[in-house]
Chains A and B, each alone.
Chain A
């Protein structure tokens, strides 16, 4: 082949007289090194700006209305600050090295160094300690949300199916699966400032019970009963979103959760009960005592 005849080191410069060494590659232009470093400087600058500006345009964590959400958000901010500092530091160092060690900026040879044992130890131990701290620090919150289940009977059962949330309240006997259970679809009502325990099931495929404002997410798995609990702190109506792809109608598997005072909650339950009784009562059935 023609190439075989080519010089073995076609690209490398020879030894110029009077110089101890030569560059293996032609020097670039200084302004281009400057321009490229500034492009990489934009990464931390615009990155930080994005996170600073976003909350002012309401592009940020949705309002938290749960007790445990405070801890989750606190942890989010803690990690944001921690990673933010590391992000800015490393990206700025990268920028500075790019700016300073541009081949066009000096005629000194590159520093011949194979590494540093001390540095390796330092930058292994510091992240290790930080990550271990973070791991231990968050365990309590995780246990609160997923492991320390309140000792109460289920307040409601939520059964997910393509593409709706079927909700069952235990009724007056406070026991699920009895004759006085109350049924609603996509409309979860929750008393404010009370522990609320949901028994989550799925009828068909995987779904995920996502309440953004309550910082709750739990997959609903057919064949399993998942306990989900929270304590809502602020009355209002919020979204229930399905967060696990469940088929073509996944996007519209939408529910609402209404957080309200105990009195309003009881009134609502009574109204549901009355509506249900009205539909159940046949012409020859014994009238059930009116609700309230």
Chain B
């Protein structure tokens, strides 16, 4: 995929490259160093974007297969039925456990984390702070190429004996540490752990680079409190990754040695699984949960903070209004990140962890609702009194706010420890994190793609089809995920290949069938996006430098920016959100526009 990630320059001479006839004008080594092993942050960002979008599609198809089994268990699978010939066209239960494990693993480790930090982080950070590239271009290139072993390990695990990992994306031992506990706990699980480690290496390389770049390479005048929210979010995300990731990497290695060397960090004495003694013993399964969630809870914020930042920027642009409460927005991101380190235990309320400790985690979890509430109110404040332009990017950004409200509020149910006893491991949880991660982050990612596409490829995406894509995705996602709250209220458990033989759940099949139809519609709607994306790359209307009349630095660079990004060193005179300044003849003042006489008076009045 990476070879097609060259930024499209809309001129006749370079357009030929897109059709593969670049060899005439360019040697193979130049081609490789420009588009494949490139150290240019924009090319790396686009490489991340294309790779993760391909995995997004794979993850989406895995989700559809999961939904098929949940709605119509043990019925012949359409299209893929031939794969299950030995089961008479049906899905085997071990195949189903593999499906939900790999759906989550692919979506989290190969899509959401790398698309936010890898694709948008890489593309936007130097452009938005006015730098010519990242601080460590080689490290940056490596951070992309360390994803490839991960792609390989995850991808290859589907084809090894026993199939890919089937222990859930949380990989709880002893199911995951024993190599005989289930089909898929053999080679597939080992490859999963190796893949995870590689994703970790990639994230760590990126994180170090982002922190250094944002601290050291800002343009003259670009103080920390003139940074756009996207950059603040990327910065804090990078800090989160730097501090949380080592724990997961270490834990992953411990699980790997448990499996390969019999160290027994996570398996207790004398554990017999599937009639085989599992490991040396002397370990504790709950230890893994603490280590895993010590990373993976902050990772939840790694998976949404950058989207929050991008949405903040997009909302201001299309509401033509300054961001409401810039500093509170920055502080609340920092607050979420800080508290994010002390709430991991809320994943473990019923795990056997000391219930008194559960109370501590519960209080911390309740408190993390605060910065999230502050952010939501400030987004509402941002569009209040604005001049809203309903572009596709804006619709996706508004839907992020609307959906994040649902995902945030449903979190309160599970933060309440007694209620969590009932809804833990049910579809209520599934509803909650899909509202945060799909209806939140993925919608934020689409907002970002529609918004920055002109900067990436020099052309705008088709607005009409963008809106159709938005309407269908938004409608179907609510049909799929909102109803999951209801399933959760009945107690419908996650991860069951067939729950209808339980008296409590036998009547829920029609609702599940409805949700699966919506999910099919949701995935099908993405065809519109894919066509629009590629068509617009080559045929879309040519965008100028600043098609949205936005304020931030990337819009002063050519679209797409050449190597080195800017024509000359940008100098920053103000914050990123000076829209509709009274007394100013145009409705936006770019960060690089020279000081305007109306500004000082307006700023004084606005702060009153």
Partner-B contacts on A (CB < 8 A)? 1-4, 6-15, 20-25, 27-28, 32-33, 36, 39-40, 43, 46-47, 50-51, 54, 58-62, 71-72, 75-76, 79-80, 82-83, 86-87, 90-91, 93-94, 97-98, 101-103, 106, 108-116, 119-120, 123-124, 127-128, 131-132, 134-135, 138-139, 141-143, 145-147, 162, 203-206, 208, 210, 212-213, 215-219, 221-224, 226, 238-239, 241-252, 254
B326 touches A114 (CB 8 A): yes
Please name the residue on chain A nearest to B413 by beta carbon: A79
B559 touches A79 (CB 8 A): no
A50 touches B482 (CB 8 A): yes
Give chain A residues whose Cβ lies under 8 Å from the Cβ of B580.
21, 109-112
Give chain B residues whose Cβ lies under 8 Å from the Cβ of A82.
412
Q: State whether the Cβ of B138 lies closer than 8 Å to any Cβ in chain A.
A: no
B93 touches A76 (CB 8 A): no
Please name the residue on chain B nearest to A99 by beta carbon: B388
Give chain A residues whose Cβ lies under 8 Å from the Cβ of B421.
72, 145-146, 215-217
B587 touches A21 (CB 8 A): yes
Give chain A residues whose Cβ lies under 8 Å from the Cβ of B321.
110-113
Give chain A residues whose Cβ lies under 8 Å from the Cβ of B419.
72, 75-76, 79, 138
Please name the residue on chain B nearest to A249 by beta carbon: B93
Q: State whether the Cβ of B462 lies closer than 8 Å to any Cβ in chain A.
A: no
Given A11-B548, A58-B507, A142-B355, answer yes or no on A219-B350 (Cβ-Cβ < 8 Å): yes
Minimal beta-carbon separation of B184 from chain A (angstroms): 8
- Picked from B9, B358, B412, B496, the residue with its CB within 8 Å of the CB of A134 is B412
A223 touches B268 (CB 8 A): yes
Could you name 12 residue pairs across A and B whose Cβ atoms are closer than 8 Å? A23-B387, A47-B406, A54-B489, A87-B409, A108-B387, A119-B377, A162-B274, A219-B350, A239-B504, A250-B97, A251-B498, A252-B93
Besides the known contacts A120-B374, A131-B369, 19 further A-B residue pairs in the complex with CB atoms under 8 A apart: A4-B558, A11-B548, A11-B549, A75-B419, A101-B319, A101-B383, A101-B387, A112-B581, A113-B322, A113-B606, A131-B412, A162-B181, A204-B274, A210-B425, A213-B504, A217-B425, A222-B285, A248-B166, A254-B501
B352 touches A72 (CB 8 A): no
A251 touches B374 (CB 8 A): no
- Cα distance, A60 to B428, chains bound together (Å): 12
Give chain B residues whose Cβ lies under 8 Å from the Cβ of A10.
543-547
Q: Which of B480-507 contact A (CB under 8 A)?
A: 482-483, 485-487, 489-491, 493-499, 501-504, 507
- Picked from B175, B405, B418, the residue with its CB within 8 Å of the CB of A91 is B405
B458 touches A142 (CB 8 A): no
A-side binding surface: helix, strand, loop or mixed? mixed
Minimal beta-carbon separation of A269 from chain B (angstroms): 24
Give chain B residues whose Cβ lies under 8 Å from the Cβ of A245.
97, 167-168, 172, 175, 495
A135 touches B271 (CB 8 A): no
A103 touches B351 (CB 8 A): no
Please name the residue on chain A nearest to B483 by beta carbon: A50
Give chain B residues whose Cβ lies under 8 Å from the Cβ of A141.
418
- Cα distance, A145 to B495, chains bound together (Å): 26
A60 touches B489 (CB 8 A): yes
**For the complex of A and B, 9 pairs with smallest distance between CB atoms:** A10-B544, A223-B268, A24-B549, A111-B385, A248-B94, A115-B325, A146-B355, A247-B182, A103-B387
Minimal beta-carbon separation of B212 from chain A (angstroms): 29
Give chain B residues whose Cβ lies under 8 Å from the Cβ of A109.
320, 387, 580, 582, 587
B581 touches A248 (CB 8 A): no
Partner-A contacts on B (CB < 8 A)? 9-11, 92-94, 97, 166-168, 172-175, 178, 181-183, 185, 267-269, 271-274, 278, 284-286, 318-328, 350-352, 355-356, 358-359, 362-363, 366-367, 369-370, 373-374, 376-378, 380-381, 383-391, 395, 398-399, 401-402, 405-406, 409-410, 412-413, 416-419, 421-422, 424-426, 458, 471, 474, 478, 482-483, 485-487, 489-491, 493-499, 501-504, 507-508, 511, 543-549, 556, 558-560, 562, 567, 579-588, 590, 602-603, 605-607
Please name the residue on chain B nearest to A82 by beta carbon: B412
Minimal beta-carbon separation of A67 from chain B (angstroms): 13
- Picked from A27, A75, A115, A218, the residue with its CB within 8 Å of the CB of B324 is A115
A221 touches B366 (CB 8 A): no
Given A97-B380, A120-B374, answer yes or no on A75-B498 (Cβ-Cβ < 8 Å): no
Give chain A residues whose Cβ lies under 8 Å from the Cβ of B605.
112
- Cα distance, A27 to B412, chains bound together (Å): 40
B413 touches A83 (CB 8 A): yes
- Cα distance, A124 to B328, chains bound together (Å): 10
B322 touches A8 (CB 8 A): no
A50 touches B358 (CB 8 A): no
Give chain B residues whose Cβ lies under 8 Å from the Cβ of A59.
486-487, 489-490, 507-508, 511
Please name the residue on chain A nearest to B348 by beta carbon: A219
- Cα distance, A101 to B390, chains bound together (Å): 11
- Cα distance, A86 to B413, chains bound together (Å): 14
- Picked from B172, B326, B410, the residue with its CB within 8 Å of the CB of A206 is B172
- Cα distance, A139 to B356, chains bound together (Å): 10
- Picked from A87, A119, A131, A135, the residue with its CB within 8 Å of the CB of B381 is A119
A205 touches B482 (CB 8 A): no
Please name the residue on chain A nearest to B325 by beta carbon: A115
- Picked from A12, A91, A143, the residue with its CB within 8 Å of the CB of B549 is A12
A97 touches B384 (CB 8 A): yes
- Cα distance, A143 to B371, chains bound together (Å): 28
B558 touches A3 (CB 8 A): yes
- Cα distance, A185 to B547, chains bound together (Å): 69
B493 touches A243 (CB 8 A): yes
B388 touches A101 (CB 8 A): yes
- Picked from A8, A91, A120, A248, the residue with its CB within 8 Å of the CB of B93 is A248
A204 touches B271 (CB 8 A): yes
Q: Quick one: which of B182, B318, B497, B603 has the most chain A CB within 10 A?
A: B182
Give chain A residues whose Cβ lies under 8 Å from the Cβ of B267.
222
Given A222-B267, A243-B425, answer yes or no on A103-B389 (Cβ-Cβ < 8 Å): yes
Q: Quick one: which of A83, A141, A205 has the most chain B CB within 10 A?
A: A205
Give chain A residues whose Cβ lies under 8 Å from the Cβ of B567.
4
Minimal beta-carbon separation of A100 from chain B (angstroms): 9
- Cα distance, A9 to B551, chains bound together (Å): 10
- Cα distance, A251 to B100, chains bound together (Å): 13
Please name the residue on chain B nearest to A35 by beta carbon: B390
- Cα distance, A28 to B464, chains bound together (Å): 12
- Picked from A54, A62, A101, the residue with its CB within 8 Å of the CB of B486 is A54
B409 touches A247 (CB 8 A): no
- Picked from A27, A94, A139, A248, the residue with its CB within 8 Å of the CB of B97 is A248
Please name the residue on chain B nearest to A47 by beta carbon: B482
Minimal beta-carbon separation of A128 from chain B (angstroms): 6
- Cα distance, A238 to B503, chains bound together (Å): 8
Please name the residue on chain B nearest to A256 by beta carbon: B503
Give chain A residues whose Cβ lies under 8 Å from the Cβ of B485.
50-51
Give chain A residues whose Cβ lies under 8 Å from the Cβ of B356.
147
Minimal beta-carbon separation of B290 from chain A (angstroms): 13
- Picked from B97, B268, B383, B487, the residue with its CB within 8 Å of the CB of A97 is B383
Q: Quick one: which of B363, B419, B426, B544 has the most chain A CB within 10 A?
A: B419
A3 touches B545 (CB 8 A): yes
- Cα distance, A132 to B365, chains bound together (Å): 10
Minimal beta-carbon separation of B303 from chain A (angstroms): 22
Please name the residue on chain A nearest to B365 by beta carbon: A135
Minimal beta-carbon separation of B553 from chain A (angstroms): 12
B493 touches A210 (CB 8 A): yes
Given A221-B352, A245-B495, answer yes or no on A204-B380 (Cβ-Cβ < 8 Å): no
Please name the residue on chain B nearest to A109 by beta carbon: B580
Minimal beta-carbon separation of B97 from chain A (angstroms): 6
- Cα distance, A176 to B387, chains bound together (Å): 72
Given A10-B544, A79-B412, A245-B168, answer yes or no on A50-B486 (Cβ-Cβ < 8 Å): yes
B274 touches A75 (CB 8 A): no
